[in-house]
Chains A and B, each alone.
Chain A
Amino acid sequence: MTVVDPPEQSAGSRAASRSERVAGWRVGVLASPAAPVYGALIGIFILSWIVVTIKGGEFLTVPNIVNMLQRSVALGIVAVGQTVVILLGSLDLSVAQLISLASLLTATTMDGKEANVVPAIALVLALGVGVGLVNGLIITKLRVNAFIATLGTALVISGFIQNRWDGPAQGVTNSFSQDLGYTRFGVIPLSFFLLAVIVVVVWFILRNTRFGYRIYAVGGSEDVSKLSGLRTHRAIIAGHVLCSLTAVITGLFLASRLGAGTPTVGTDGGYDLESIAAVVLGGTALTGGRGGVIGTIGGVFILAVLDNTFNQLELNAFLKDVVRGIIIIAAVAVYARRQEKKA
């Protein structure tokens, strides 16, 4: 099992003794780029717990933990996709509009009929594949910078939404809404398992498949990858398809949570910039080639805990933005210092 692990562990794994292997594992965990993220998460969690308790609130209650997990799901799913494109050295600013469109499409296609649930899901997933393909093709074949290309598709989708829908669209069936949006096992909501499955799948792809290695290679240096014979365009297009897929799944989930599709659900949540912030908070380099989904999920949890704490403290909405901005900058500054020390 340790054969696939990074080189710093392989020395330890050759020695047979169990204690050494455990020690090696521990070093591996601490050395992983995701370690400071979870350190920060634990720190913020404890700090929030103390502050909320002092203020007379309840932090570690079942509804509150459920709330935090629920909040993580929507941002978490799309942030996983965003991680993939950022690892590629690209980025996707169209996810927020795509999430809105997916939620609207879910509602109108279901149209209140049980029989339409599966076709609706299929259609929305197809939408994701389509938008991802378009993004990828514009970036690779038309050579438009990803920032501008996805900003352009965001505008295109936004115009389409405004042209077709004036307000929220009804039609999400009750059972779909109840099943995906509100079922839970103990403290863990069903939707959280959806997030977990997506994280595991993408983590597996990144760590153990050729496609995953290619993503890191292309993100590290596109020129070098191309010269080594990689079909970089394919990797970039596939990465964007994956990212758009996660965005539409987020749209499906939000439609189930709200019981309707809304034209502004994606932009109100700020999922475009927020997902990028989560990825960077999770220790992934914006220039590509370094990082992973495990860190991103840590970043998402940090944002969810903060959000929850602000709500518990009944902080002014504007003050919330200020504090969030400061924390995002401060956290990334701390990582940057750590990396500098290592180098």
Chain B
Amino acid sequence: MSTENVAAPGFGSDTGDRGRRFLRSLMSTGTIFVLLLILWVWITILNPTFAEPGPFLAYLKRSAPLVILAAGAYFVLVSGNFDLSVGSLVTVIVVVAARLIDGDPSNTWPVIILLLLIGVVVGFVNGFISTVLRVPSFITTLGMLLILNGAVFLWTGGAPRGALADNFRSIGRQGINGIPWIEQLPWSVILLFVIGGASVLLMRSDFGRQLIATGDNERAARLSGVRVDRVRIMAFVLSGTLAAVAGILLAGFGGVSAQVGQGLEFDAITACVLGGVVLGGGRGSVVAAMAGALTLEALFTWLNLQGISGALEDTVQGVIIIAAVSFASYRLRGAR
């Protein structure tokens, strides 16, 4: 049906049965790739340098945290849950990193391990409460949002303290230098592709199938032998860990602030829904969710180029999100 999807770069090179299946799954949620391409072309028309390797990589670098968060949100959403705590978790990661590293480069690696552990633990607690204790995940993660925000500032006394070391920041800021043509390949872009690739592989493994089955029909999945609770807890753990990674990148990008993670949970969920992920679980692809994040980030770039005043930016963004999602859902209905 939608022939435009063939134009989506980089996909379809896979051959055989698996490749065809992948292509088909791409087509069913293909609207997002069309939208992304339209935005890229439009931005290039407005600002021709966007298509050059340097600025385009800068755009990918900027998008990396949101794409990583969207992948995390995807796992949780597709299993039929919500994770509203990722924004505050990102804030926690940044604030904890600043306080513990305190400007000393030798602290960086131990602290990074600790930060990832925090992500794992928060994800596990979210998952455990939402599955074993049967609290709706919306409430669990809403409570976790309050707890994390409160706890981290209780610990630092109201405002972020300490400083990040340069080698910690370089993860978000630097990259491999001296590569011909693109000059610098940022670490965050490498991370973006590694996590993206791993997520796709994960969703094609047994775990991925069980996750989608759980989100689609919990009872049927349970009766066919899926350990539903364990799969869902794993999804939360992945979401928490990826939020920690995104937090580490964001700490490198900007400064240490109490607002760094604000609203990111909604952005990540919006990205997934833009990509055709159905809230409530069971439908959507992780590639499309990540493309949704790239689209959202392209949208922000586009808004900037259009010179829309800061105040009205929210309004335009709101209208476009609603329009894009209704467009996507319209196409989805048409395709079925």
Contact A326–B143 (Cβ < 8 Å): yes
Known A-B contacts A156-B319, A328-B143, A336-B134; the reply to A145 vs B325 at CB < 8 A is yes
B332: min CB distance to chain A, Å: 9
Known A-B contacts A148-B321, A155-B317, A159-B318; the reply to A322 vs B151 at CB < 8 A is yes
Contact A321–B142 (Cβ < 8 Å): no
Q: Does A107 contact B (CB under 8 A)?
A: no
Q: Which of B266, B279, B315 has the most CB of A within 10 A?
A: B315
Complex CA–CA separation, A154 to B263 (angstroms): 12
Q: Which residue of B lies closest to A89 (CB)?
A: B280
Contact A276–B154 (Cβ < 8 Å): no
Contact B147–A325 (Cβ < 8 Å): yes
- Residues B249-271 near A (CB distance < 8 A): 266, 269-270
Q: Does A182 contact B (CB under 8 A)?
A: no
Known A-B contacts A276-B142, A328-B143, A329-B139; the reply to A144 vs B312 at CB < 8 A is no
Contact B315–A325 (Cβ < 8 Å): no
Complex CA–CA separation, A159 to B310 (angstroms): 8
- Residues of chain A contacted by B142 (CB below 8 angstroms): 273, 276-277, 325, 328
- Residues A270-288 near B (CB distance < 8 A): 273, 276-277, 280, 286-287
Known A-B contacts A156-B315, A332-B139; the reply to A324 vs B146 at CB < 8 A is yes
- Residues of chain A contacted by B145 (CB below 8 angstroms): 273, 325
Known A-B contacts A155-B321, A318-B150, A324-B146; the reply to A280 vs B139 at CB < 8 A is yes
Contact B138–A276 (Cβ < 8 Å): yes
- Residues of chain A contacted by B273 (CB below 8 angstroms): 145, 147-148
Which listed residue (B135, B150, B266, B314) contacts A333, Cβ 8 A? B135
Complex CA–CA separation, A333 to B321 (angstroms): 34
Q: Which residue of B lies closest to A91 (CB)?
A: B138
Contact size class for A? 35 or more
Contact size class for B? 35 or more
- Residues of chain A contacted by B321 (CB below 8 angstroms): 148, 151-152, 155
- Residues A310-325 near B (CB distance < 8 A): 316-325
Q: Does B25 contact A (CB under 8 A)?
A: no
Contact B322–A138 (Cβ < 8 Å): yes
Complex CA–CA separation, A325 to B145 (angstroms): 8
Which listed residue (A152, A329, A332) contacts B318, Cβ 8 A? A152
Contact B139–A318 (Cβ < 8 Å): no
Complex CA–CA separation, A340 to B84 (angstroms): 25
Q: Does B53 contact A (CB under 8 A)?
A: no
- Residues of chain B contacted by A145 (CB below 8 angstroms): 273, 278-279, 325
- Residues of chain A contacted by B333 (CB below 8 angstroms): 143
- Residues of chain B contacted by A149 (CB below 8 angstroms): 322, 325
Q: Which residue of A lies closest to B155 (CB)?
A: A318
A156: min CB distance to chain B, Å: 4
- Residues of chain B contacted by A320 (CB below 8 angstroms): 150
Q: Does B144 contact A (CB under 8 A)?
A: yes
Complex CA–CA separation, A31 to B314 (angstroms): 46
Q: Does B329 contact A (CB under 8 A)?
A: yes
Q: Does A83 contact B (CB under 8 A)?
A: no
Contact A316–B154 (Cβ < 8 Å): yes
- Residues of chain A contacted by B133 (CB below 8 angstroms): 333, 336-337
Known A-B contacts A143-B330, A276-B142; the reply to A336 vs B311 at CB < 8 A is no
Complex CA–CA separation, A287 to B147 (angstroms): 24
- Residues of chain A contacted by B315 (CB below 8 angstroms): 155-156, 158-160, 163
A contacts with B: majority SS: helix
Which listed residue (A142, A160, A276) contacts B326, Cβ 8 A? A142
A167: min CB distance to chain B, Å: 13
Q: Does A70 contact B (CB under 8 A)?
A: no
Q: Does A256 contact B (CB under 8 A)?
A: no
Q: Does A106 contact B (CB under 8 A)?
A: no
Contact B322–A329 (Cβ < 8 Å): no
Complex CA–CA separation, A323 to B322 (angstroms): 36
Q: Does B302 contact A (CB under 8 A)?
A: no
Q: Does B140 contact A (CB under 8 A)?
A: yes
Known A-B contacts A159-B315, A333-B135; the reply to A322 vs B146 at CB < 8 A is yes
- Residues of chain A contacted by B316 (CB below 8 angstroms): 159
- Residues of chain B contacted by A318 (CB below 8 angstroms): 149-151, 153-154, 158
Contact B325–A159 (Cβ < 8 Å): no
Q: Which residue of B lies closest to A94 (CB)?
A: B318
Complex CA–CA separation, A340 to B132 (angstroms): 12
Complex CA–CA separation, A158 to B312 (angstroms): 8
Q: Does A162 contact B (CB under 8 A)?
A: yes
Contact A286–B138 (Cβ < 8 Å): yes
Q: Does A264 contact B (CB under 8 A)?
A: no
B281: min CB distance to chain A, Å: 12
Q: Does B309 contact A (CB under 8 A)?
A: yes
Contact B318–A286 (Cβ < 8 Å): no
A138: min CB distance to chain B, Å: 6
- Residues B284-336 near A (CB distance < 8 A): 309-319, 321-322, 325-326, 329-330, 333
Q: Which residue of B lies closest to A323 (CB)?
A: B150
- Residues of chain A contacted by B329 (CB below 8 angstroms): 142-144
Q: Does A153 contact B (CB under 8 A)?
A: yes
Contact B314–A155 (Cβ < 8 Å): yes
Q: Which of B135, B153, B279 has the most CB of A within 10 A?
A: B135
**Between-chain CB contacts (< 8 Å), 15 pairs:** A147-B269, A147-B273, A149-B325, A152-B318, A152-B319, A152-B322, A156-B318, A158-B315, A159-B315, A162-B312, A319-B154, A322-B146, A328-B146, A333-B129, A333-B133
A residues near B (Cβ < 8 Å) are 138, 142-145, 147-149, 151-156, 158-160, 162-163, 273, 276-277, 280, 286-287, 316-326, 328-329, 332-333, 336-337, 340
What 3 pairs across the A-B complex have the smallest Cβ distances? A159-B315, A155-B318, A321-B150
Known: A320-B150, A337-B133. 19 other contacts (CB 8 A): A145-B273, A147-B269, A154-B318, A159-B312, A159-B315, A159-B318, A273-B142, A316-B154, A318-B150, A318-B151, A322-B146, A322-B151, A324-B143, A326-B147, A328-B146, A329-B129, A329-B139, A329-B140, A336-B135
B residues near A (Cβ < 8 Å) are 84, 129, 133-136, 138-140, 142-147, 149-151, 153-154, 158, 266, 269-270, 273, 278-279, 309-319, 321-322, 325-326, 329-330, 333
